[in-house]
């Protein structure tokens, strides 16, 4: 089988690797540089504390790969697992957390509900008095997206995939209902399968095949700061869900700080958005991190920052399906593409080569759910 993968981010390269590993002849087309879309600007979070079973199952299948990635791929990953700490201020959020932990436990996730005072065991400077409830899982953590990308790229190449950068797919070719390949700015590629893993450009790619996928690019921002009080590396990635603020430790006491504070930030042109951070946003981000934990006071200094794009669907769940005969979509991960890439790559290979997914039942992730108004909302968006 010949396959063209559109997009050289982590999802595209994981898909290319698992396709090539199973014997497919694979060409990856990336319009810029590898990881130049969303991957290079990811926070690298890896967690199983999601609010829906399908996201938990994608996480568990991916975490099985992340745990052994360095050995299996002979590549560094900088994978640390200090956990994730979710915080609830509002009664409704606390109630939802209790339900989610019960569901997560049923699926094998060792998450648990904590009294905010007890959460200080994991985040000593937490302003526990501000919260009603916390949840924590010790198997959550974060890794280096750049190292992961390099590992998958090398593994895909060694498995026989050809990776072409600076090669834009200009159209997905069809013969009737079936996809027959892709047009690129360097010529035509015949293929049995085209994989749309184009991240923020996914809707544009799908449109060239006559398909409308509800995936929108949304701008997100992030900072690396020197806190007033150093953040130990043992502190979890901490999310104040009701304000949208989050932070996690970096090296040597620094912290990464982010959050969603601007009405889900308007759609952005993925080729023309501003990649630097906004000063007003940065001030708000540090203040809200300080509202959650005493690490961040008036003497916190901003070291650097950036903006990137999420590829977002209306329910913050991806579209993973065979959209047309020969067109496999793995798009719209809404900020979770990095962590779910290993499972997604294997599922893409299953859909392309077997006609159905067996690793995880992804039937709920079809694009037709939007037409049926059967959305599966993810509440733990970060």
H-only helix segments in the chain: 10-21, 53-73, 91-106, 116-119, 145-158, 202-207, 279-292, 337-353, 368-371
* pLDDT above 90 as % of the chain: 88
pLDDT of residue 264 exceeding 60: no
Does the pTM exceed 0.85? yes
Question: By three-state DSSP, how is residue 6 classified?
Answer: strand
Determine the Cα angle at 97 with ends 93 and 102, to 5°.
155
> How far is residue 20's CA from residue 348's CA, in Å, rounded to a whole number?
11
* CA gap 272, 239 in Å, rounded: 30
Q: pLDDT at position 260, please?
A: 81
Is pLDDT of 112 > 70?
yes
Instruction: Name the pLDDT band for 381 (thresholds 50, 70, 90).
Output: confident
CATH superfamily of the 2-47+145-214+315-371 domain = FAD/NAD(P)-binding domain (3.50.50.60)
User: For domain 95-138+217-312, is the CATH number 3.30.9.10?
Assistant: yes
User: Residue 230: how many CB atoms within 10 A of its CB?
Assistant: 15
Q: Where are the domains of the chain?
A: 2-47+145-214+315-371, 95-138+217-312
CB 204 within 8 A of CB 89: no
Band the pLDDT of 212: cuts 50, 70, 90.
very high
Query: How do residues 324-346 score in pLDDT, each as one tens digit?
Result: 999 999 999 999 999 999 999 99
pLDDT, residue 154, reads 97
């Amino acid at each position: 089988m010949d396959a063209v993968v559109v997009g050289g981010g982590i999802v595209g390269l994981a898909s290319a690797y698992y396709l090539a590993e199973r014997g497919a002849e694979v060409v990856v087309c990336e319009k810029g540089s590898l990881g130049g879309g969303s991957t290079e600007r990811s926070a690298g979070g890896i967690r199983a504390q999601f609010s829906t079973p399908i996201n938990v199952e994608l996480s568990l299948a991916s975490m099985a790969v992340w745990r052994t990635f360095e050995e299996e791929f002979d590549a560094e990953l900088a994978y640390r697992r200090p956990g994730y700490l979710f915080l609830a201020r509002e009664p409704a959020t606390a109630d939802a957390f209790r339900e989610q932990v019960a569901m997560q436990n049923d699926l094998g996730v060792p998450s648990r509900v904590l009294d905010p005072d007890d959460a200080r065991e994991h985040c000593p400077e937490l302003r526990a008095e501000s919260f009603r409830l916390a949840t924590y899982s010790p198997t959550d953590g974060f890794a280096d997206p750049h190292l992961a990308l390099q590992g998958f790229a090398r593994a895909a190449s060694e498995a026989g995939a050809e990776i072409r950068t600076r090669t834009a797919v200009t159209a997905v070719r069809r013969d009737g209902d079936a996809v027959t390949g892709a047009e690129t700015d360097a010529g035509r590629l015949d293929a049995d399968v085209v994989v749309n893993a184009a991240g923020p450009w996914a809707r544009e790619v799908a449109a060239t095949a006559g398909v409308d996928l509800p995936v929108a690019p949304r701008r997100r921002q992030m900072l690396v700061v020197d806190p007033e009080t150093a953040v130990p590396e043992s502190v979890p990635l901490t999310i104040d869900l009701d304000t949208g603020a989050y932070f996690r430790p970096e090296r040597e006491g620094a912290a990464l700080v982010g959050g969603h504070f601007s009405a889900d930030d308007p759609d952005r042109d993925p080729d023309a958005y501003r990649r630097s951070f906004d000063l007003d946003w940065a001030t708000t981000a540090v203040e809200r991190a300080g509202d959650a934990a005493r690490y961040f006071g008036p003497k916190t200094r901003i070291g650097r920052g950036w903006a990137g794009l999420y590829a977002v669907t209306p329910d913050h769940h991806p579209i993973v399906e065979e959209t047309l005969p020969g067109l496999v979509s793995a798009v719209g991960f809404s900020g979770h593409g990095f962590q779910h890439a290993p499972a997604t790559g294997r599922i893409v290979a299953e859909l392309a080569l077997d006609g159905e997914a067996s690793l995880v039942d992804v039937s709920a992730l079809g694009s037709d759910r939007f037409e049926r108004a059967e959305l599966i909302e993810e509440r733990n968006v970060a």
